[in-house]
Amino acid sequence: MERRAFFRWGFIRGERRRKNRIWAVLLVLSIPAFLLCEQYVVSAGRITDLSMFPTLKPGGYFLVNKFIVWITPTRRGDVVVIHPPNHPRWYYVKRVIAVGGETLSVSEGRVWVDGHLLEEPYLSGTTEPEMPPRRIPEGSYFLMGDNRMNSEDSRVFGPVPRKHIAGKIRPGRLFSLW
């Protein structure tokens, strides 16, 4: 009569190998999932300059919602991350001041959109230099930093086409769906 063991060590060794295979598969699948998520859904950024001060302080971190720009329109007042036309590998954080089809002008240190004064409670200082009325092309956006005296924005490189907008951020919130 054959004697049966109550417990077989071979079963444990086989289970350990199976667990290792599961962890290896999860690791291999998580790397491309992370890269796809960072490229198309959300990524992290860090503020390195003063162009959006006091809204965003240097050294602060933010999350860029890249998916939201495909499902909601970009409106005046949104804070966006762009690839500027003059530095296509860099990222800038700016505020949308005017959208395509609107007329923008700067006079007396204030911004006017379609003849109406733009209320800007987030602004640090005044807006210089003066700018005659300028119509923004359809599908483009006029962007400025909140610290107008220390910002390289659409006053330098012109209106930005929609394809240069990488995502939106919400100052004061880590991440939201709007």
What total of structural domains would you count in the chain?
A: 1
Average pLDDT over residues 12-26: 72
Mean pLDDT of the chain: 87
CATH number, domain containing residue 51: 2.10.109.10
10 domain residue, yes or no: no
46 domain residue, yes or no: yes
19: its two tokens = 């667990």
Q: Which residue has the higher pLDDT, 177 or 99?
A: 99
Confidence (pLDDT) at 61: 87
Report the percent of the chain where pLDDT is more than 70: 87
Domain of residue 142 covers 42-169
137-171 residue pLDDT tens: 999 999 999 999 999 999 999 999 999 999 999 88
Residue whose C-alpha is closest to residue 126's, from 144, 104, 102, 99: 144
* Candidate list 51, 124, 151, 154, residue with the active-site label: 51
Residue whose C-alpha is closest to residue 94's, from 50, 153, 150, 35: 153
168: its two tokens = 């939106």
pTM score, whole prediction: 0.81
Confidence (pLDDT) at 147: 92
89 domain residue, yes or no: yes
Q: What is the 3-state secondary structure (H, E, C) of 36-52?
A: HHHHHCEEEEECCCCCC
Confidence (pLDDT) at 11: 55
* Candidate list 66, 94, 124, 168, residue with the active-site label: 94
Work out the pLDDT band at 177, boundaries 50, 70, 90: very low
151 classed as catalytic: no
53 domain residue, yes or no: yes
140 classed as catalytic: no
Confidence (pLDDT) at 60: 87
Work out the pLDDT band at 8, boundaries 50, 70, 90: low
Contacts of 113 (CB under 8 A, 6+ apart): 76, 97, 98, 102, 103, 104
